[in-house]
A and B are shown apart, each in its own frame.
Chain A
Amino acid sequence: MNPLLSVQDLHVDAPGEGRSILRGVHLTLDAGETVGVLGTSGSGKTTLALALLNLLPPALRARGRVEFEGHDLRTLNHAALCAVRGRRCAMVFQEPLTALNPRQRVGAQVAEVATAHGEHDAARAMRSAIDLLGRTGLTDPGERAQRFPHQLSGGERQRVLLAMALLLDPALLIADEPTSALDVTVQAQVLQLLREQQRARGMALLLVSHDLGVLATTCRRLLVLHGGRIVEDAPTPQLLAAPVHPHARALVDTVRPAERRA
């Protein structure tokens, strides 16, 4: 079976600054698989997530293949790309306050995803949006849907963002540091929700984070991104037990210093 997502030799350069951010990333992901990308800040995590969906800012240049469900997303035309984004492959961003439009009510923003993909019945789009907001654990979703982003808590906002991504039941969800902007207790709740939804829908999850703890509890397989390359690719237990690359070892050490020193 072909993998759901296959990235081959992906390079991203910033010509203006004369530096490379990604230097030949290879990765594959099967349907329903949960994969974590571990990297420190500046390792190119967010660039990788954006590059997968062709969302890089114009100042960055990408090379390589990003094959998703048999299409090379890098060469797909605008209309075909728009049809894949949101419907087959969706994305959740790190900072829910800036990822939501401050001028629109959150219910309308969730419903908008359906409208953008050809749902003409606005009332039906809103009903499914409110229904999904309720299933992502928002209390009183009908009332919350009428609020603006700044009138919600950080956790509520991230649930809204997740609802937007899940509305059309994508085959792959890319989540870029989805919990880093949240309080620790809320972080655990949102992560739990993410795991539940992944399992219930059988969708593949590509979780990008600097936090090994977050990744280890959610993903079956971990990739370590360092200096723009994937330096380690192993099942989670194996990576935690015996990291090979020195950078991976250093990262694992920070989580279990006492155990490893013993």
Chain B
Amino acid sequence: MAGHTWRRLLADRTARAAAGVLGAAALAAVLAPWIAGYDPTAQPDPVALRLAAPSWQHPFGTDPFSRDVCSRVLHGARISLGVAAGAMLLSVTLGTTLGALAAVLGGWVDGVVSALVDVLIAMPRLLVVIALVATFGALSPWWLVVLIGGSGWLTTARIVRAEVRDHQQREYVTAARALGASRWRIVWRHLLPAVAPQVAVAAALALAAVIPLEAALSFVGLGIQPPLPSWGNILLDGSDYLTTAWWLVVFPMAAITLTVGSALVLADRLRVAIAGEGRPS
């Protein structure tokens, strides 16, 4: 199943750079316990090391509790990127499954899924999540994944439904049916591979949307609860010291911007690669 879209993407230097940044961020998140110099929650000397500026010992400085900001950003990546990746996978899987089912089965299934998408897409996601958190109290990271992922499948479902319906009308699908391929074999062998690049775009965009969403929730105190560090609550801790200790805000912000930006660039380059489909590479 060698798609030309993927090959074109691999040949794209910008796409490779964006994927590299995301890969490095993921690696840093996985390896945080081994590469972080300090325990992210340890408060070695709240008096002498309070709000220390970046130095060789503390490259990103320290916070009001003398905790090492670099270690906190690295450990925060575990939580922030973990929640983001989990939520992205959940929403893309849900969206692809529901969108494909709606397109293939049609009838009332299509009606229900489409109506659900139309209604839910009109709701502001952040406010819905805030309302739910406010109702049920602070959530564990797992619940955050379920909540953010469960509310993010709409656009993916819409894209997949439209793409599958388009490809169902193509002659090669009719030809496959004419030679005895069953409905589900066609979904598996022809339709899903055909929409995979579009799903990848949706996944990259979902990642770019979910990272700031988790950060925003944690920033308003409804997401990841201290002392567990996340990019959002590190920013929250630093927001009081914006004028006196810039390093508290700049480093977690840079981490968010870099990963979100890379995901957006990747989505954009994927679109370019898809647009080139059919032309010899």
Kindly supply a per-residue 1/0 record for chain B positions 258-281, scoring 1 wherever the CB is within 8 Å of any chain A CB and 0 otherwise. Answer: 000000000000000000011010
Kindly supply a per-residue 1/0 record for chain A positions 18-42, scoring 1 wherever the CB is within 8 Å of any chain B CB and 0 otherwise. Answer: 0000000000000000000000000
The distance in angstroms between the C-alpha atoms of A137 and B169, with both chains bound, is 31
Cβ-defined contact, A86 with B180, below 8 A:
yes
Shortest beta-carbon distance from B178 to chain A in Å: 4
Answer whether residue A188 sits at the interface, using C-beta atoms and an 8 A cutoff: no
Instruction: Tell me the nearest residue of chain A to B5, going by C-beta.
Output: A103
The distance in angstroms between the C-alpha atoms of A100 and B176, with both chains bound, is 9
Instruction: Tell me the nearest residue of chain B to A91, going by C-beta.
Output: B178
Instruction: Tell me the nearest residue of chain B to A117, going by C-beta.
Output: B180
The distance in angstroms between the C-alpha atoms of A102 and B3, with both chains bound, is 9
Question: In the assembled complex, which residues on chain A have CB atoms less than 8 Å from the CB atom of B189?
Answer: 112
Chain A residues within 8 Å of chain B by Cβ, number: 34
Answer whether residue B175 sits at the interface, using C-beta atoms and an 8 A cutoff: yes
Question: In the assembled complex, which residues on chain A have CB atoms less than 8 Å from the CB atom of B122?
Answer: none
Answer whether residue B45 sits at the interface, using C-beta atoms and an 8 A cutoff: no
Point out the residue from B174, B178, B278 that lies within 8 Å of A90, measured CB to CB.
B178
Instruction: Tell me the nearest residue of chain A to B277, going by C-beta.
Output: A102
Answer whether residue B177 sits at the interface, using C-beta atoms and an 8 A cutoff: yes
Cβ-defined contact, A84 with B178, below 8 A:
no
Cβ < 8 Å to A, chain B residues 160-183:
169-172, 174-183
Answer whether residue B16 sits at the interface, using C-beta atoms and an 8 A cutoff: no
Cβ-defined contact, B175 with A104, below 8 A:
no
Instruction: Tell me the nearest residue of chain A to B278, going by C-beta.
Output: A102
Instruction: Tell me the nearest residue of chain B to A99, going by C-beta.
Output: B175
Cβ-defined contact, A116 with B179, below 8 A:
yes
Q: Add 5 more A-B contacts to A116-B179, A116-B185 (CB < 8 A).
A: A82-B181, A86-B179, A95-B171, A102-B277, A164-B179
Q: List 7 A-B contacts (CB under 8 A).
A: A85-B179, A91-B178, A93-B174, A93-B178, A116-B180, A116-B185, A164-B179
- The 10 A-B pairs at the shortest CB distance, nearest first, are namely A86-B180, A86-B179, A85-B180, A91-B178, A99-B175, A98-B171, A101-B172, A116-B181, A82-B182, A82-B180
A residues with CB within 8 A of B: 50, 53, 55, 57-58, 78-79, 82-87, 90-91, 93, 95, 98-105, 112-113, 116-117, 148, 150, 161, 164-165
B residues with CB within 8 A of A: 1-4, 106, 169-172, 174-183, 185, 189-190, 193-194, 277-278, 280
